[in-house]
Amino acid sequence: MDYQLIVPYIPNLRRYARALVGDREGADDLVQDTLERAVRKFHLWRPGDLRAWLFSIMHNVFVNQLKARKVAYEVEMDEIAAPMSSVTSTDLMDLDRALSAISPDQREVVLLIALEDMTYAEVGRALGIPIGTVMSRLSRGREKLRRLMEGETPRSALRIIQ
Amino acid sequence: MTAEDEKLRKLLHQRFDSVLEEPIPARMHLRSPAWIDYARVAAIFVAGLGIGLAVPLLRPAPPKAPPAAQAQPMPALAARAHYVYTREKRHAVEVEAADQEHLVTWLSRRLDVPLKVPVLAKEGYALMGGRLLPGTDAPVAQFMYEDASQRRLTLYVVGKKHKQPVTAFRFIQEGLVNVFYWVDPECAYAISGEIDRNELARVANVVYKQLEGE
């Protein structure tokens, strides 16, 4: 097992996690858990696309964390609704809010495509979903992000999570 | 990709690309899987023997504990220090080469040995500066060099209190990092680089000759 092979991917995993989770602490916890799991499972990796393999591990860890934190997550969504309806601030703050208001499924696809420049096939492998699902989540995710950034309150996202 | 999609892509990069430049937190580094495995075996063994007092000392670290660097051989520590600090853009060194006199005085005092800084200009590497690092049994000095294409080398020096056995010139590869090292009665040295082994050997020989006074 060569941990050094994984190290070069840490900055990318951290960037993706930051965008996915929102806060720095939570994102780095996600990265840490992912790295630990990757080290434990390294014997299962077959020489090939190490990046996709690492992101697929991060996806699994993320899904598990979401399940564990479902209640907390819903509370967070309620809190987001209030500031969203008020006056818009900068684009970037709107982006943060909008990201946290779309469903995690869509967020993953949008971010892997935009930040990691993954192909649909790579995203499909990383998330364990068919390419058709990648495309539909991508278009719905992008659409919703745009609408949220234009000032729509994230009510629809609440419904999805429940 | 539509223009709107492209705009969103740019916005996401603008918002999150800075994370790529952040130094990697220490807890994500230096995690030696072998060490974890040994510690786990040790924990099970000790628990099996029922030596209750020893269990808290030997059981595997909880996930958030800082990585344990003990029991790592000197050249492996040098390789990891190389890996961590050569990736720094703004804080690659603690004291820059412009302050070389201060750098050498300071590190010589901390390592309790008069240090020499090899000159590698002929090999195409300029001194960037250095820093003090903790070592397993003595403080460590790390000097960093850079060539015109920004490839970096580090020289890792453990001072007088090192407990390494005296070793002739040796080579190890630790992940992506190649390391030549040797130990004399005074200091332990390791020169690390992510460059071709033969090229590193050439530079390492020059360093060896300058330091061992041939």
Residue A1 touches chain B, beta carbons under 8 Å: yes
Distance CA B203, CA B164 (A): 23
* Cα atoms in the Cβ-side hemisphere of radius 13 Å centred on B105: 4
The model carries a pTM of 0.48
Q: Which residue in B28, B32, B80 has the most chain A C-beta atoms within 10 A of its own C-beta, making it the best mutation to test that interface?
A: B28
Give the full edge-to-edge strand order of the sheet including B152-158: B95-96, B126-133, B140-146, B152-158, B188-193, B177-183, B167-174
Residue A7 touches chain B, beta carbons under 8 Å: yes
Model pLDDT, residue B30: 45
In this predicted model, what pLDDT tens digit does every residue of B42-57 receive, in sequence order?
Answer: 666 666 666 565 555 5
Weakest mean pLDDT among B12-16, B19-23, B139-143: B19-23
| Shortest Cα distance, chain A CAs vs residue B105, angstroms | 34
In this predicted model, what pLDDT tens digit does every residue of A73-100 receive, in sequence order?
Answer: 444 444 444 444 443 445 666 888 889 8
In this predicted model, what pLDDT tens digit does every residue of B65-91 receive, in sequence order?
Answer: 444 444 468 888 999 999 999 998 888
In this predicted model, what pLDDT tens digit does every residue of B134-163 receive, in sequence order?
Answer: 887 788 999 999 999 999 999 999 987 777
Q: Which residue in B9, B13, B15, B32 has the most chain A C-beta atoms within 10 A of its own C-beta, making it the best mutation to test that interface?
A: B15
Distance CA A124, CA A128 (A): 5
Query: C-alpha angle B58/B62/B63, rounded to 5°?
Result: 140
| Shortest Cα distance, chain A CAs vs residue B45, angstroms | 20
Model pLDDT, residue B131: 95
